[in-house]
Structure 1
């Protein structure tokens, strides 16, 4: 864990994070908006951007959806300091092809690229394209073999592999190792297969937003396992609502909750396409009436006065969280508020 916490933002890949009916937030997933958002985040001092991968909008396929890997390549050329993390669903790309893409973005960014391995939960994204969507644990078994190959290929090793899912013969990728041994590997997911794979292959394990004690328990469980890339680091997703007073922040949270209720139809349609074994959706469904945002959102408790939010961030950091991957709404205005009011208090 670093001495000071790091902070990242979720790119607006499918528009709003809390509600699609907020008059103060453009429901805009365009490249133009995302380019401006990431460039401003870098200028404000944020350390990372996470570009989630969806081929079609997971809420409504009539809405815009930013493509993660082409956008990440473009961001790599435009930025100078911020880490660019592109999510990847192994079932969509052969490991040789993906490893080559990752190395190219690593080269363009001069050593600032990372991939975030996710198990995929949107069945329709695969099945409508005629792609296989195996059961949850089988997808993790596939991902384990997949990331093992990608890891070696990104290191520039000459790879020959005969496995259950892939046959690779005498393959080597270049350029590799120009800036560091390989791009950083993040892994998301809280099921038992996800935890095991995080310890085995990841540099950073992403945890969905939830209370501090739950996060401590998750970290303790994974930290006890032998880690191939020790010391394993930890990231946390969170939706931030910070104001001068706790009361003002709670009032804004109530406003966003009320707006989010208007998205119930979209959420129901999304749930119908969701793998029932997804741990993330099991947790977020249970908390949907109390919290806003995706991947746990405000369940992490970063809602309150500037001092309250800063104190909670410090507590999470002391528990082992290195990187906070943040959501806001309206995104640009609240991102600026966080940079002005919270960053100085915690760095």
Structure 2
């Protein structure tokens, strides 16, 4: 089965999500009103408030080592997600996983347990590792880029089968699983959702064949349109059409001048982070297309950040979101700084404008698959 990008936007209601503050910030370490705090208490407060404000989903990224510095705190994604599943009632919880750090049998069991705790609000986000120390310092091999995706394809094949309640046998290059069965199976739907992102050819191929939603890093709409068209047009082997999400950093204000001033200040304080950024970049996989795109479109925030263009007046930001939705983007996973006040501002001033611009693009329950 193949999909077409414009139809995807019409078919799936628009949803808003927030990145959990697992590293204490998604922008500068030096913002005077946003102290770096990756604590469980802050993350719990953040996601509970996001749920109360009407956000539909959250992404809990997985970094065993904080990429800013291994001396800085970082939230453990999977234990935190289990706790968030119990603390929340409605919001979807998406937790990232780097396949090299977890065997798919163990991870599938953990995912099914969080699915049970959340009553059908859980999803996994497969991430192809790019930060070498996280893998290499643990004594694990950091495979070449395309080989990591080959490993991830086997990993996800095993994990998806187990998540679907199947007795699983798989014999491949990396995994040898013989008749494994996990119980209890999912009581709420066929299985938790699978999210996957990336811009390289192996990422697009794996997303098209194995994911439910494909995440795209923030970048200009013309590039997003091309990625959606390419990935949506690939074979799905009888699965429902692939959905799409976009990561973006938002700076929304009442006037353009205020938005420009806020962006200029963000760049000013970001300059103070340059030594740590340079050190981090010494340890990345340079074949990761995310960093090649970032070099073309410098931005505030991670994963494309402000390159998506969600900077401007409330009306301008709402109109750009509407335009992305028309191109097939269903889920907007958002970053802000200072995070909580700007998260509130977006919920108060931008979400209602988007709903008025696209009255048939209301949110949908996270349990839908």
Same fold (TM over 0.5): yes
Task: Please name the residue that 2:249 is paired with.
Answer: 239
Task: Please name the residue that 2:212 is paired with.
Answer: 203
Task: Please name the residue that 2:155 is paired with.
Answer: 146
Q: Which moved more, 1:279-288 or 1:63-72?
A: 279-288
2:270 is paired with a residue whose SS is helix
Gaps of 5+ in 2: 1-7, 356-369
Cα distance, 1:3 vs. partner?
5.0
Deviations 1:222-255 (A, max 9, x none): 1111124321000000000000011111110010
Cα distance, 1:315 vs. partner?
0.2
Check whether the contact 2:116–2:186 (CA below 8 A) recurs between aligned residues: no
Deviations 1:269-294 (A, max 9, x none): 11011001111111113333xx2000
The alignment status of 1:220 with 2:220, answered yes or no, reads no
Task: Please name the residue that 1:55 is paired with.
Answer: 64
Task: Please name the residue that 2:127 is paired with.
Answer: 118
Task: Please name the residue that 2:83 is paired with.
Answer: 74
Matches within 5 A, 1:1-347: 1=8, 2-228=11-237, 229-288=239-298, 291-347=299-355
Structure 1 segments of 4+ aligned residues over 2 angstroms from their partners: 1-4, 285-288
Structure 2 CA distance, aligned partners of 1:33 and 1:262? Answer: 24
Structure 2 CA distance, aligned partners of 1:271 and 1:108? Answer: 38
Structure 2 CA distance, aligned partners of 1:239 and 1:106? Answer: 28
Structure 2 CA distance, aligned partners of 1:160 and 1:140? Answer: 21
1:14 is paired with a residue whose SS is coil
Structure 1 CA distance, aligned partners of 2:168 and 2:14? Answer: 37
Task: Please name the residue that 2:366 is paired with.
Answer: none
Deviations 1:172-217 (A, max 9, x none): 0011130000000000111000000000000000000001111000
Question: Cα RMSD (Å) of the superposition?
Answer: 0.9
Structure 2 CA distance, aligned partners of 1:35 and 1:185? Answer: 23
Check whether the contact 2:145–2:288 (CA below 8 A) recurs between aligned residues: yes
C-alpha change, 1:76 and 1:214, in structure 2 (3 Å) is same
1:304 is paired with a residue whose SS is strand
Cα distance, 1:132 vs. partner?
1.2
Cα distance, 1:41 vs. partner?
0.1
Deviations 1:81-107 (A, max 9, x none): 000000000000001000000000000
Gaps of 5+ in 1: none
Structure 1 CA distance, aligned partners of 2:76 and 2:90? Answer: 22
Deviations 1:293-322 (A, max 9, x none): 000000000000000000000000000000
C-alpha change, 1:38 and 1:232, in structure 2 (3 Å) is same
